[in-house]
Structure 1
Amino acid sequence: MSDIPRLVAWRRELLQVHERLRLALLAALEAARDGADAADASRDLLLYCHGFCLALDSHHRGEDALLFPALVEQYPEAARVVSMLRQDHDMIASLLTGLDRAVRSGDSSRLLAGHLEGLAAIMESHFRFEERELEPLLDKLELDAEAAAVFGPL
């Protein structure tokens, strides 16, 4: 495999994992909206949230541990953007904790949908910012790592 396809693949990998996370969040939101009662919504969301929350957390951990240090090392001018993205990761982790707590406590499907809608808004804003700011750098990034380690197993 030549270097060029691997380098460009980092951008494609980021876009693909973001799309899969968007779809996973949509499935969780539909489960909350369709829940006839809190017990149904909670049971369904325990499954959806477990998968979605783990995937999103794994995605952010991989970026924090592998992608962001490589970006800052190769492109020091990206340090401000990386710092902002890390702050987003912390905020999203807090929202995921709140969602998990709401699911486990049996909150109503209306409240669970509210948690998910708030998370969706923040997540979409974060993804768009990340894609806009990092795509040009990812096309040239040299990083010797497995895509699943960098962006999560999705």
Structure 2
Amino acid sequence: MSEGENTRLVAWNRELRSVHDRLREALTVTRQALAAGEAVEPATRDLLLFCHGFCTALTAHHEGEDRHLFPAIAEQYPQLPDTLRHLQQDHSMIAHLLAGLQAAVARAAPPAELHRHLEGVAAIMESHFRYEERKLLTVLETLALGTDPQEVLGPL
């Protein structure tokens, strides 16, 4: 394997961490928008914007993993079906929580309810990211996948 190929393979590891870090930052900004909006009204324009952006980015990340990354891992690492199944179940649970958050924001739910939704998403998302990083970062160092990283992991 050439040095260029090796660099490309190891990049999947770094790109996954980078996307996770950006999603963590987006969650922080969404929390800040909620806190800033509480003094004015529960669902400020900023909160709607940040929530939509965060929810869209997290959904795109998980859909890309389900569509491209996990099938490639399943093919190249057939010993990981339980890990992949667990991660896909997390994706489904997070999608359900995001839908609840989006509905609460759209109907201008009270700040306490919006906090509960955000904290639920945050807890599952962080647990999921840590598990995924623990189980897949080593795999991603050697994964051969010739797809655009934004298609696989969402916006970088």
What is the TM-score of this pair, normalised by structure 1? 0.95
Gaps of 5+ in 2: none
Q: Is the 8 A contact 1:42 1:109 kept in 2?
A: no
**RMSD, aligned CA:** 1.3
- Is the contact made by 2:42 and 2:109 (CA closer than 8 Å) also made in structure 1? no
Question: Corresponding residue for 2:64?
Answer: 62
Following superposition of structure 1 onto structure 2, how do residues 52-131 of structure 1 map, counting pairs within 5 Å? 52-131=54-133
Which string of whole-angstrom CA distances, capped at 9 and with x for unpartnered residues, describes residues 42-62 of structure 1? 422210011111100000000
Question: Percent of pairs identical after alignment?
Answer: 53
User: Alignment partner for residue 31 of structure 1, among 6, 30, 33?
Assistant: 33
Q: Distance in 2 between matches of 1:42 and 1:117?
A: 18
The alignment of Structure 1 onto Structure 2 pairs a total of residues equal to 154
Distance 2:39 2:107 in 1: 13
What residue identity is the alignment partner of 1:134? L
| In structure 2, distance between residues paired with 1:32 and 1:110 | 10
Spell out structure 1 runs of 4+ moving beyond 6 A: none
- Counterpart position of 1:51: 53
TM, length-normalised to structure 2: 0.94
- Displacement after TM superposition at 1:36 (Å): 2.9
Do the aligned partners of 2:51 and 2:102 also contact (CA within 8 Å) in 1? yes
Give the Cα–Cα distance (whole angstroms) in 1 for the partners of residues 37 and 112 of structure 2.
9
Aligned to 2:9: 7
Once residues 123 and 23 of structure 1 are traced to their aligned partners in structure 2, the CA distance between those partners, rounded to angstroms, is: 12
CA distance in 2, matches of 1:143, 1:127: 21
